[in-house]
Every structure is written in structure tokens, then in C-alpha cells.
Amino acid sequence: MGRSWNRIGSAQAGQGRLARTFMTTKRCTWVGIDDPLMLQYHDREWGVPVHDDRKHFEFLVLEGAQAGLSWSIVLKKRDGYRRAFSEFDPEKVVRYTEKRIQKLILDPGIIRNRMKIEASVRNARALLAIQEEFGSFDAYCWRFVGGRPKLNRLKTMRDLPATSPESDAFSKDLKRRGFSFVGSTVVYSYMQAVGMVNDHLVDCFRYREIRRLDSVVDGPAAR
């Protein structure tokens, strides 16, 4: 019995240490530890370089859907978007008919905005055209940052930009190629999400982790 209580006490102490470590870990100040989805997104995804075209399309859809709303709302509907947009397979989305679009407008699992839904279908078509021209959407988009993530050194949220010269150029070219809901602000958020720019605050634990990750993972344009 004494040993059992000792083991329980040790386990509880260990959990307490983990909880204290978790609470004291420095993160970007826009992340609230009371929002599990946002916390997980920040700690595991945001700023990690993406080199998969389906993942690129996912973030194009989600960032376009987020326009005018909070990212927290989009994360809560992410599974709904996965289902509604065929696991973000652009070759399937491009075949969506008006009947399918009408069905999506009534789907409570996503943001029911006709313009945003129709834009996602058009963007699938435009993305496939880029794949034909460049071999992959990944090869195309990383050209706007010279093939490697742009490393910013932000100390506070006030330093966080909404756009950049790169997002301006990227946005302009996407629009020229037929994309919608790709203004410079949306595109800059997309670039942050897919790791084209590292905008974690310098005292955030992910800033250095992603910086180290970039030293061993290069995009195709950097090779």
C-alpha cells in the first residue's frame, strides 16, 4: 500500500511539473492556452514549411474562408472543411457542380458564404493550371521568397506585419492567374501558415525550433 501511494504521489508530482512547464513555456502572445485548437495549431503547424500541394490548397481554402472572421472559428470548422472539400484534393474540387455548391452553402460544418465557396472551386482550377506550368504549386509559391523561409525577428505583436512586399507580389500574380480571396493580407497570413515566413516572436519557443527545422529542410526552389 505504501509503495502504491508513493507511485501515485510520484505520478502526480510529474504531472504537476509538466503542467508548470507548459504554463511557463513562452509562446506568441496571440495564442491563448485556454483554446486547445489554437494552441495545438501554434505549437505544431503555424510557420512549419509546407511542400505538399494538397496542404497548400488546404491553407488557401481556409485562409480565404477566414477573411473577415477569426482564425479560431475556422479551426473549429476545419474537419467540416476537410469533408466538404474532398480532403482538399483540387482535382476533385474542380469538378464541383452548381448543385454541389448549393449543398455546401447549406452545410453547417463550414462557413456558408457562397462567394468564398465558389472562390475555392475557382482556386482549385487555377492551382491545377499552375501545376501544369511549374510542375507543382509548391515550386511556384516558394519563388516569392527565394526558395527559403523569410526569417523575421519580431519582439511584440505590434511588430507583426499584415502584408509584405512579397505578399503584395504574390497576391498580384495569384489574381492574374484567376484566384479569388487572395488579397495581400490573406496571402500574408497564408505565407505565415505554410512557413514561407517565420513570424513567431523571438522569445517564443517555436521561433528557434522552426529556424532549426529550416536548416535541414529545403524547398524545391532552394535546391
Of 45, 71, 118, 209, the active-site residue reads 71
pLDDT, one tens digit for every residue, the chain (223 residues): 545 445 444 444 444 443 444 456 899 999 988 899 999 999 999 999 999 999 999 999 999 999 889 999 999 999 999 999 999 999 999 999 999 999 999 999 999 999 999 999 999 999 999 999 999 999 999 999 999 999 999 999 999 999 999 999 999 999 999 999 999 999 999 999 999 999 999 999 999 999 987 654 444 433 3
Active site residue 41: yes
Assess if residue 169 is contained within a domain: yes
Active site residue 30: no
SS3 letters across the chain: CHHHHHHHHHHHHHHHHHHHHHHHCCCCCCCCCCCHHHHHHHHHCCCCCCCCHHHHHHHHHHHHHHCCCCHHHHHHCHHHHHHHCHHHCHHHHCCCCHHHHHHHHCCCCCCCCHHHHHHHHHHHHHHHHHHHHHCCHHHHHHHHHCCCCEECCCCCHHHCCCCCHHHHHHHHHHHHCCCCCCCHHHHHHHHHHCCCEECCCCCCHHHHHHHHHHHHCCCHHHC
Assess if residue 58 is contained within a domain: yes
Assess if residue 41 is contained within a domain: yes
- What pTM value is reported for the model? 0.85
> CATH code at 104?
1.10.340.30
Active site residue 63: yes
Assess if residue 53 is contained within a domain: yes
Assess if residue 55 is contained within a domain: yes
Of 46, 58, 63, 142, the active-site residue reads 63
Assess if residue 6 is contained within a domain: no
Assess if residue 83 is contained within a domain: yes
Based on the structure, what is the number of domains in the chain? Answer: 1
Assess if residue 173 is contained within a domain: yes
**Domain region containing 38:** 29-222
Of 41, 81, 96, 140, the active-site residue reads 41
